[in-house]
Amino acid sequence: MKYIDEYRDERIARALVADLARRVTRPWLLMEICGGQTHTLMRYGIDELIPPQITLVHGPGCPVCVTPLEAIDKAIQIASRPEVIFVSYGDMLRVPGSRSDLVQARAAGGDVRVVYSPLEALKIARAHPERQVVFFGIGFETTAPANAMAVLHAQRQGLRNFSMLVSHVLVPPAIRLLLSSPQNRVQGFIAPGHVCTVMGYREYEALSREFHVPIVVGGFEPVDLLEAISLLVAQLEEGRAETENQYARSVTREGNLQAQAIMERVFEVCDRKWRGIGLIPRSGLRLRPEFAAHDAEKVFQLEELTAEEPAECLSAQVLQGLKKPTDCPAFGRRCTPAMPLGAPMVSAEGACAAYYLYRRQAVAP
Amino acid sequence: MCLAVPGKVLEVEERDGSRVARVEFGGITRLVQLDLVPEARVGDYVITHVGFAISRLDAEEADRTLRILKAMGLLESEERGAP
């Protein structure tokens, strides 16, 4: 496919690796934020191809992984109601809540359906005017405009039986939290290319300045990631700390202004709890009060719940780049994609799932 | 979750008050909403996420970057004596 195959070219990749080997003189620790990038790195063995001085740790950029237990418990409460059709992106179904998951809610009689786009949830709502259709609105800035559009379409079409359970999260506040931690070891970040396609990268320039940290907006193919790593190492070796844009074919400094305007119209910034990390101020989006009729939290009377993660799961440290998935004693033994203890083992983008898929042999049985 | 792929716009039409496109992704055609990228035209490549185009791919920028990278790749192959 055009604009994909070229960025998987082995000759270019080898040239970038050779260039990196010439450039690097010291150990550097880098983090890719986005779980999609984690998967490319593992799938193509980029972590093993690059010079050994460069260590990659994996960030919290997996929406399924950071959606708080309480949101999943709320989803299960709603999905268990007889009048509800609960609609979600597929990855969320097997994420453990505090007591069960959405698959179990479905097995117990809940009408839980998987879609690929929020517009399919609108279609279901139109087809079933006698039922309440609730869409699980999760994701980062990449997904927020599409979910916001679905709410606007519902409003325009007068769909009174459509609502959204919103648990959106924002990337820059999470990077700020990681950089503010005394435990932080990360010296450079690959910023998520599709989040920046929507938002641009001015927020990241501010982080580079404030924390004197290099950030490179990166794409998702192997050549993109190798080039992003190369740009980061060049900055670190030269003592620079700027935000650069490797993924210029999709990302501009200002981002997609139309998408930002739609997000702004439908959502407002709020504090949000991240699974495994805790409360991060101003790191989430919720529906504005004028969309209360489409806000599942307002439409349904929900019990307020607080829940704790199983103590055995290391996902908190994995999501903050403090540990690798293979450092966890449960990895590949008591925790597998079929029987996950924590969310990063469930999602196709979770770091634990990526290691399980591509690096299982690295762990002695 | 933030997976988004480039595809070529084959046709643009008006549907239920919003612009939608038929977009080809490696031989498969899907309907894509253009609400977020109203400037997309037939022949453009758009990057699509959960049924919505989120950007119009900058072909000039992509070609420029690829030329630089390819030149680097060729140079490296020659140095290593590879074909």
pLDDT tens-digit map of A122-177: 999 999 999 999 999 999 999 999 999 999 999 999 999 999 999 999 999 999 99
Mean pLDDT, residues A87-99 taken together: 89
| Residue B83: per-residue pLDDT | 43
pLDDT of residue B56: 97
Question: What pLDDT does A49 receive?
Answer: 94
Is 70 exceeded by the pLDDT of residue B81? no
Q: How far is A198 from chain B (nearest CA, A)?
A: 7
A251 contacts in chain B (CB < 8 Å): 55
Separation in Å, CA of A194 to nearest CA in chain B:
6
Nearest CA in chain A to B55: A250
pLDDT of residue A347: 80
Question: Quick one: pLDDT at residue A315?
Answer: 86
Cβ-contact A286, A317 below 8 angstroms: no
Q: According to the model, what pLDDT value does residue B82 have?
A: 45
Token pair listed for A223:
């050549």
Q: What average pLDDT score do residues A309-332 get?
A: 86
Under an 8 A CB cutoff, do B73 and A9 touch?
yes
* Percent of chain A topping pLDDT 70: 98
Q: Do the Cβ atoms of A197 and B4 come within 8 Å?
A: yes
Nearest to B1, CA basis, from A337, A234, A66, A159:
A66
For the ranges A110-124, A321-335, B47-61, the lowest mean pLDDT is seen at: A321-335
Please tell me the predicted confidence (pLDDT) of residue A112.
97
Q: Which domains does chain A have, with CATH numbers?
A: 5-62+173-245 (3.40.50.11750), 65-170+255-299 (3.40.50.11740), 315-319+327-359 (no CATH)
The string of pLDDT tens digits covering residues A176-232 is: 999 999 999 999 999 999 999 999 999 999 999 999 999 999 999 999 999 999 999
Interface test with B, best of A7, A9, A10, A12 (most B CBs within 10 A): A12
A118-122, A158-162, B73-77, range with the lowest pLDDT: B73-77
What fold, for B5-79?
SH3 type barrels. (2.30.30)
Q: Do A156 and B55 touch (CB under 8 A)?
A: no
Spatial separation of the C-alpha atoms in residues A295 and A270, rounded to whole Å:
15
Measured at the alpha carbon of residue A217, what is the angle toward residues A143 and A343, in degrees to the nearest 5? 50
Nearest CB among A194, A248, A249 relative to B49 is that of A194
| Residue A276 pLDDT > 60 | yes
- pLDDT, tens only, A43-85: 999 999 999 999 999 998 888 889 988 999 999 999 999 999 9
Q: Which of A130, A45, A35 is nearest to A83 (CA)?
A: A130
Nearest to A258 by CA among A197, A170, A205, A202: A197
Which of B1, B37, B75 to mutate to test binding with chain A, by most A CBs within 10 Å of its CB? B1
User: What's the angle, vertex CA B26, arms to CA B24 and CA B31, rounded to 5?
Assistant: 25
In terms of DSSP H, where are the helices of chain A? Answer: 10-23, 35-43, 46-49, 63-66, 69-79, 102-107, 118-127, 144-156, 171-180, 193-199, 202-211, 222-238, 257-266, 296-299, 315-319, 351-359
Q: Does A139 touch chain B (CB under 8 A)?
A: yes
Q: Is residue A114 exposed (0-12), middle (13-18) or buried (19+ Cβ within 10 Å)?
A: middle
pLDDT of residue B37: 97
Q: With an 8 Å Cβ cutoff, is A15 touching chain B?
A: yes
Task: Give, in degrees to the nearest 5, the angle at Cα A346 between A277 and A323.
Answer: 45
- Number of Cβ pairs closer than 8 Å across A and B? 143
Query: Which residues in chain B have Cβ-Cβ distances shorter than 8 Å to A2?
Result: 6, 8, 45
| pLDDT band, very low/low/confident/very high, at A365 (cuts 50, 70, 90) | very low
pLDDT at A93 over 60: yes
Give the Cβ contact number of residue A293 at 10 Å. 15
User: Which residues in A lie closer than 8 A to residue B6 (C-beta atoms)?
Assistant: 1-4
Q: Among B1, B38, B75, select the one facing A15 at the smallest CB separation.
A: B75
- pLDDT in the model for residue B78: 61
Cross-chain Cβ contact B47/A139 below 8 Å = no
Interchain contact, A16 vs B70, CB within 8 Å: no
Residue A329 has pLDDT above 60, yes or no: yes
pLDDT band at A240 (very low <50, low <70, confident <90, very high): very high
**With a CB-CB cutoff of 8 Å, which residues 239-258 of chain A face chain B?**
248-251, 256, 258
Is B52's CB within 8 Å of A149's CB? Answer: yes
Kindly state the average pLDDT of the residues A236-260. 98
Examine the pLDDT at A22 and tell me if it is beyond 70. yes
What is the band of A343 on the pLDDT scale with cuts at 50, 70, 90? confident
| Residue A6 pLDDT > 90 | no
Predicted confidence at residue A312, as pLDDT, reads: 80
Distances (CA, A) of A111 to A97, A159, A304: 18, 19, 23
